[in-house]
């Protein structure tokens, strides 16, 4: 036991001697660090050891993991002057708080607090503001906390070495954080480029088929009409015209999907909110389905007392169309598709059920990804429909979920927290 009330615990493990350093309410265990050629008391050795261990075992692993998350924060998008201002302000605020309690915690503990502050600043801002914060913290610690106070003079060799060690750790932490963050950014950029290339390849492979089929159909039908206009019967001409119409609608649908995805990714999507009768909207979607959907039974029972909802009717029509059309594509003929809409706890909930085979469990997390198509399914579609449905739903601050039904088939649930109004309330506006 030292004369200041601190304790040292020595174990029989000579390779790993653990010490206990009592700082207020915290007990810190650390290795004894032998520092030479200075003759330093054991308490100072404990502090050096703790500084070393907090840097190696605490700060280094932290800065190697945190930059990925910090890329999502806007701090490094601030101007250089704002970064300087915030960095210096953080050091000054922490130093002021420590100065008020310096008599209780001691100047050695203040060094740890300031070092942690510099570490946090290093993870948030660019290198120059961080270097400034590190220099400022070292000077403040010297002038306001290391005896004798209010002077640059340091009385003892122990304190001088401690000050040098603090400064070195702060600067190394700054440079190391900057280098790790730069390496992480390069790795993410490389991964992003590779992912973009994969997406483009997937898009081209998908669209090459989706565009080639309807275009070939249209070209073939038009050639036939032109070359055999006098030999074709009226029924033959009508059949060719229907093929052209179907292929044109399919081609138009693919182009619309690409345009919608472009709007979502560019952030240019703006909602055109207006009062909407969901019963009418759903019937409109069903009527606009392509002829291939007629092989399925689509059941929708309107609710007479369903309120009006304030939403973008065009986007929600596209959401319902994509989900229902997807169900007609990937369920057997004569399958039943149920559509339900209800108001639950001030939310619009739309449920679309089918009695098909459902989705493989391992594919459920990826169904809403761009260009994703369930393996071993029939050709058709670009893999954008459900992704667009999710994007348009989230644009309304809503959610869309998918799960398999126990009795077979899939269940899509759309939940929107949108403003609702009954007709009587609407008339009073």
Tens of pLDDT, residues 72-131: 455 556 787 888 898 899 999 999 999 988 888 888 888 888 888 887 887 788 888 888
User: How many other C-beta atoms are found inside a 10 Å radius of the C-beta of residue 193?
Assistant: 10
3-state secondary structure of 78: coil
CATH number (domain holding residue 345): 3.30.565.10
DSSP 157: H
Candidate from 182-186, 221-225, 317-321, 368-372 with smallest mean pLDDT: 368-372
Q: Tell me whether strands 297-300 and 336-344 are parallel, antiparallel or unpaired.
A: parallel
Backbone φ, ψ for residue 53 (5° rounding): -70, -35
**Same domain, residue pair 185 and 46:** yes
Higher pLDDT pick, 315 / 1: 315
* Beta-bridge partners for 341: 350
Phi, psi at 270, each rounded to 5°: -125, 130
Predicted local confidence at residue 92, as pLDDT? 92
The two beta strands, 274-276 and 308-311, are: antiparallel
Which of 48, 42, 140 is CA-nearest to residue 89? 140
Q: Select the more confidently predicted residue: 178 or 375.
A: 178
Let me know whether 49 and 184 are in one domain.
yes
Residue 232 has pLDDT above 50, yes or no: yes
What's the pLDDT score for residue 147? 86
Domain-ending residue, one of 172, 191, 210: 191
> Does residue 165 sit within a domain?
yes
Query: Which of 171, 191, 211 is the last residue in one of the domains?
Result: 191
The percent of residues above 90 in pLDDT, for the chain, comes to 13
Residue 300's pLDDT band, with cuts at 50, 70 and 90, is: very high
The mean pLDDT value for 204-230 works out to 76
Residue 126 lies in a domain: yes
**22 found inside a domain:** no
Q: Which of the pair, 175 or 343, is modelled with greater confidence?
A: 343
31 pLDDT above the threshold of 50: no
Residue 67: C-alpha distances to residues 27, 134, 172, 181, 385 (Å):
30, 19, 17, 6, 34
Q: Check whether 352 has a pLDDT greater than 90.
A: yes
Taking the C-alpha atoms of residue 383 and residue 202, their distance in angstroms, rounded to an integer, is 10
Res 168 pLDDT > 50: yes
Kindly state whether residues 51 and 167 are assigned to the same domain.
Answer: yes
| Residue 234 included in any domain | no
List the structure tokens of 53: 């261990």
C-alpha distances (whole Å) from 373 to each of 264, 376, 378 are 20, 9, 10
Examine residue 337 and state whether it is found in any structural domain, yes or no.
yes
DSSP 367: T
Torsion, Cα of 314, 316, 321, 323 (10° steps) = 160
What's the gap between Cα 245 and its chain centre?
A: 41
- Angle in degrees, CA 227, 228, 233, rounded to 5: 155
The pLDDT value recorded for residue 339 is: 93
341 contacts 323 by C-beta, under 8 angstroms: no
Amino acid 25: pLDDT: 31
In a domain, 244, yes or no: no
Region label for 267, one of left (φ > 0), alpha (ψ between -120 and 50) or beta (otherwise): left
Q: Is the model's pLDDT at 26 over the cut of 50? A: no
217 or 8, which is more confident: 217
Domain count, the chain: 2
Among 166, 191, 216, the domain boundary falls at 191
Tell me the average pLDDT across 235-247: 84
Whether the pLDDT of residue 27 is over 50: the answer is: no
* Whether residues 186 and 279 fall in one domain: no
Domain that holds residue 117: 40-191
Kindly state whether residue 205 falls inside one of the protein's structural domains. Answer: no
Q: If you average pLDDT over residues 390-417, what whole number do you get?
A: 90
Query: Is 291 found in the same domain as 180?
Result: no
User: How far, in whole angstroms, is CA 416 from its chain's centroid?
Assistant: 21
The answer to whether residues 187 and 299 belong to one domain is no
50, part of any domain = yes
Report the share of the chain in percent with pLDDT over 70.
72
Question: CB of 312 within 8 A of CB of 418?
Answer: no
What is the tens place of the pLDDT at every residue in 305-347? Answer: 889 999 988 889 889 998 998 888 888 888 999 999 998 887 8
Range picked from 30-34, 186-190, 424-428 for highest mean pLDDT: 186-190
Verify that 281 and 187 share a domain, yes or no: no
**Chain centre distance of CA 152:** 48
């Amino acid at each position: 036991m030292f004369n200041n009330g601190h304790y040292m615990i020595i174990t029989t493990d000579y390779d790993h001697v653990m010490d206990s350093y009592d700082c207020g309410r915290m007990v810190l265990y650390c290795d004894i660090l032998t520092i030479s050629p200075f003759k330093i008391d054991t308490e100072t050795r404990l502090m050096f050891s703790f500084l070393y261990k907090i840097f190696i075992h605490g700060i280094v692993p932290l800065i190697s993991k945190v930059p990925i998350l910090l890329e999502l924060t806007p701090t490094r998008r601030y101007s250089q002057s704002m970064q300087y201002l915030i960095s210096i302000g953080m050091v000054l605020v922490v130093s002021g708080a420590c100065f008020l309690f310096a008599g209780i915690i001691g100047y050695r503990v203040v060094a740890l607090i300031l070092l942690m502050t510099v570490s946090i600043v290093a993870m948030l801002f660019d290198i120059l503001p961080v270097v400034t914060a590190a220099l400022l913290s070292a000077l403040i610690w010297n002038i306001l906390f290391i005896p004798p106070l209010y002077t640059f003079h340091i009385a003892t060799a122990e304190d001088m070495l401690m000050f040098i060690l603090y400064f070195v750790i702060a600067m190394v932490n700054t440079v190391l954080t900057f280098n790790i963050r730069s390496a992480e950014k390069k790795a993410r950029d490389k991964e992003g480029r590779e992912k973009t290339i994969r997406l483009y390849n997937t898009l081209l492979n998908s669209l090459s088929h989706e565009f080639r089929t309807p275009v070939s159909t249209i070209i073939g039908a038009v050639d036939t009409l032109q070359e055999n206009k006098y030999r074709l019967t009226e029924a033959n001409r009508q059949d060719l015209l229907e093929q052209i119409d179907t292929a044109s609608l399919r081609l138009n649908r693919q182009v619309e999907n690409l345009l919608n995805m472009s709007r979502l990714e560019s952030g240019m999507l703006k909602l055109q909110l207006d009062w909407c009768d969901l019963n009418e909207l759903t019937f409109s979607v069903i009527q606009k389905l392509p002829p291939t959907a007629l092989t399925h039974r689509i059941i929708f029972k309107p609710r007479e007392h369903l309120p009006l909802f304030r939403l973008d009717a065009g986007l929600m029509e596209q959401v319902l169309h994509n989900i229902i059309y997807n169900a007609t594509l990937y369920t057997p003929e004569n399958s039943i598709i149920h559509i339900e809409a209800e108001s639950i706890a001030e939310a619009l909930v739309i449920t679309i059920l089918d009695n098909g085979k459902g989705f493989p469990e391992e594919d459920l997390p990826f169904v809403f990804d761009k260009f994703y198509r369930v393996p071993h399914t029939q050709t058709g579609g670009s893999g954008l429909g459900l992704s667009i449905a999710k994007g348009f739903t989230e644009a309304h601050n809503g959610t869309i979920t998918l799960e398999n039904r126990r009795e077979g088939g899939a269940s899509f649930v759309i939940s929107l927290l949108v403003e609702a109004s009954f007709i009587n309330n609407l008339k009073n506006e």
